[in-house]
Amino acid sequence: MFENPGAARFLAISPHLGDAALSIGAGLFQAAQHGAKVTVYSVFAGTASPPYSPAAERMHTIWGLSPDDDAQLYRRKEDAAALDHLGVAYRHGRFLDSIYRKLSDGQWLTDHKEGKQKLATNQDAPDSDPDLVAEIEDDLKPIIDEVDPTVIVTCAAIGGHPDNEAARDAALFTAYEKNIPVLLWEDLPYVLFRSDAVGLPQGFRLGAPEFSSVEPDARTRKFQAVEHYPSLLSMFNGPGKDLFGQLEEHARKASPQGGYGETTWPVTRHED
């Protein structure tokens, strides 16, 4: 996954707090242990002001927070603890998660569905911020100048979440402008529930998937880091759910030799 880590600088562009740790935390830890400089930038980590959408209120309840709690501050603290445990640096972006954003017609971008913990994103109406990708690019450029990455890694946006697609596209456009190689990670745990094709912006092509095995201590450290996210575990782990068992099984199915690992895809630019 990460060649010559001792001479490498990796910038992981994570849409949300926790996405990078869940999807590629073992690889990031192993790279850092082998001498790489690793930084995780979480794009949609900004604090929203009430009133909140019904979807946001529901998620706050699931996360065990009161209406007066600063949910994103709580989650940023989780993220800091998790990434510290992985031994990597981090930055938190200013953009609001989709559960806090409105469409141009005043409707909430994300609403809740009845039953369990499902959210529904309005895919038919345009987002209230058509310049979102360009604004994320503007915020990414000074981060990239500071980190000076040799590789950028971000999500494949499997499942079509608008935040994931915006973060990925901004990463692709900025990396291409600066001539930095890009790898896309498999969106875990969401790919466990759906396996949609990866649709990239025009001009970009997805390479063949690359499964990279990691050392046992990297797998252990990743799972320990994920435990620093009670908010995420409230959705994916617990009675009737086994997040870590599912991650293990998914990796075994992809591994040619057994053991734990993570999948990425290289991305190339083409003009046809």
State how beta strands 182-185 and 151-155 pair. Answer: parallel
pTM over 0.85: yes
**Spatial contact of 2 and 8, defined as CB atoms under 8 Å apart:** yes
Q: Please tell me the predicted confidence (pLDDT) of residue 105.
A: 84
pLDDT tens digits along 33-48: 999 999 999 999 999 9
Does the N-terminal peptide bond of residue 256 adopt cis geometry, omega within 30 degrees of 0? no
pLDDT surpassing 70 at residue 92: yes
Top CATH class of 5-269 equals alpha beta
Distance CA 62, CA 66 (A): 10
Q: Output phi, psi for 109, to 5 deg.
A: -65, -40
Residue type, 104: S
**Spatial contact of 42 and 90, defined as CB atoms under 8 Å apart:** yes
Give the domain ranges of the chain.
Answer: 5-269
Q: Please tell me the predicted confidence (pLDDT) of residue 93.
A: 98
- Provide the residue count of the chain: 272
Token pair of 230 as six digits? 């009670």
